[in-house]
Chains A and B, each alone.
Chain A
């Protein structure tokens, strides 16, 4: 019994972080039909914001809020710098500019801060463990689960109950029609990038909470995870991204528990094999998403 509880907590905590990463990527993809390769750098920006404000003496929550805000601003900046100038031209152009912006941000961190890991302040509770019902788990895991629950609820409320959210869902299926109803294209795109940044910022707090340090390449792992999770879940569906995150975490955690010690270092190879199997079975991902798909 306590094993299953332990397993469930692990899957939910890891899956929650994965789901938030995937959601941040797919919210932009859904609207622009473009993968934002600079997404990982939003996580990096939040991390360095924590590092840079660590001497300020602010309470941790204030530093975290500033870091999330920075990630949101960096998200909106991604649109203005990498997407907006070339959006109308070609898919390739945007892919290249988003790669370039990602590299630019990483190199700025290398140059102006350091290639070496920089410590990030963490609240006490992140390093505490909790034991209940025969389970011992880091408090961080429970915080992650709670944060995921709150954010998913907030996100779902935004997308279903607000005009902006409904307009974003509409724009994801037919951007031109949404615009012909008066929905401003730039508002929708900036909002998508801001939400993407918000999710990346929160993910950064949870993700960096595991390591306690930030490096210029910190965003690569989350970008890859987000990408795989959205491919599993279905690139076109917000629910799919969340589902994909939890499925990926389920696979990872199961392998963690079942693989013998000497095979554990090949865990990712096993994970990817399973991902390929899922895609052979369902090439469009688990959840298909809306039918139409013209790009703007």
Chain B
């Protein structure tokens, strides 16, 4: 029988900042086209896990596999080339680059496909008319919500196979948060594999297929989105942070 390797498979992952062990033992799996959410209180180690998968932090132990191939501690540019796009929690637009230049850099890995890039750029501007209006403006002058739209659009410019999203709703107004979750749902429908880190558990569980709950650097619970949403001890796991 032909075994299909999962899109992304993290096993026994450990991440350390010097003596601080931020991620102790994290294993998670994302099947092709799945939207998986990683929940947990502040400081649980979600961002460290995500940045380690992205190659921005070295793994102190464990492994990361992309469609079966070992990519543990690969350089971030290599991960990008392999189709993993990352939107960090710090919402890193390049503030002194224009909106357009930010998008252009998003397509760095496929910059030779000028026609495809131009089409995607037009598509992004259609999807985010606000960004189109401000295309020549430095990205640093955008509002928080617009910057979040821009980083997601920028990540999509590479036509990724996996999208790592870290707290896209953080600090945004409720209407913008709804808009962002609608967009995430649309991306999922398009077949993209997504790992969504969130503190807004109810919103994340509403769009996700499955969920993992992290606590103190470990996976404390996992299940389908419905199971996790129904679990009565979820609050306790959370608050114990």
Contacts and interface: CB of A to CB of B under 8 A. Distances in A.
Chains A and B bind each other: yes
Interface of A: 163, 166-167, 169-170, 173-174, 176-185, 289-292
Contacts of A291: 95, 140
A181 B97 contact: no
B77 A179 contact: yes
A2 to B, nearest CB: 41
Counting chain A CB atoms within 10 Å of each CB, the highest count among B77, B81, B85, B97 belongs to B77
A92 B168 CA distance: 37
Most buried by A among B55, B92, B95: B92
Contact of B55 (A167, A169, A173, A180): A180
B101 interface: yes
Nearest 8 pairs of A and B residues by beta carbon: A182-B80, A182-B109, A177-B92, A179-B76, A170-B94, A182-B108, A180-B76, A290-B96
Contacts of A180: 54-56, 76-77, 79-80, 85-86, 88
Interface of A is mostly: helix
B235 interface: no
A181 B54 contact: no
B24 interface: no
Contacts of A292: 92, 95
Nearest to A179: B76
B59 to A, nearest CB: 16
Interface of B: 54-56, 75-77, 79-81, 85-86, 88, 92, 94-97, 101, 104-106, 108-109, 111, 140, 154, 158
Contacts of A169: 94, 96-97, 101
B105 A179 contact: no
B92 A174 contact: yes
Nearest to A160: B101
Nearest to B109: A182
A173 B105 contact: no
B175 to A, nearest CB: 27
B173 to A, nearest CB: 23
A3 B240 CA distance: 77
A42 to B, nearest CB: 27
Nearest to A187: B77
Contacts of B92: 174, 177, 292
Of A174, A177, A178, the most chain B CB neighbours within 10 A belong to A177
Contact of A182 (B81, B88, B101, B140): B81
A181 B106 contact: yes
Contact of A173 (B80, B81, B85, B96): B96
A177 B55 CA distance: 11
A291 B92 CA distance: 12
Contact of B88 (A173, A177, A178): A177
A183 B110 CA distance: 11
Given A179-B80, A180-B79, 20 more contacts: A163-B104, A166-B101, A167-B105, A167-B108, A169-B94, A173-B97, A177-B88, A177-B92, A178-B105, A179-B56, A180-B80, A181-B108, A181-B158, A182-B81, A183-B105, A183-B108, A185-B75, A185-B77, A289-B96, A291-B140
B97 A182 contact: no
A169 B158 CA distance: 19
8 contacts: A166-B105, A169-B97, A170-B94, A177-B94, A180-B79, A182-B77, A184-B77, A291-B140
B37 to A, nearest CB: 21
A291 B138 CA distance: 13
A166 B86 contact: no
A183 B86 CA distance: 13
Nearest to A163: B111
A174 B75 contact: no
A164 to B, nearest CB: 10
Interface centre among A178, A180, A184, A185 (most CB of B within 10 A): A180
A193 to B, nearest CB: 18
B109 A179 contact: no
A98 to B, nearest CB: 24
A169 B138 CA distance: 13
A272 B74 CA distance: 48
Nearest to B112: A163
Contact of A163 (B54, B56, B75, B108): B108
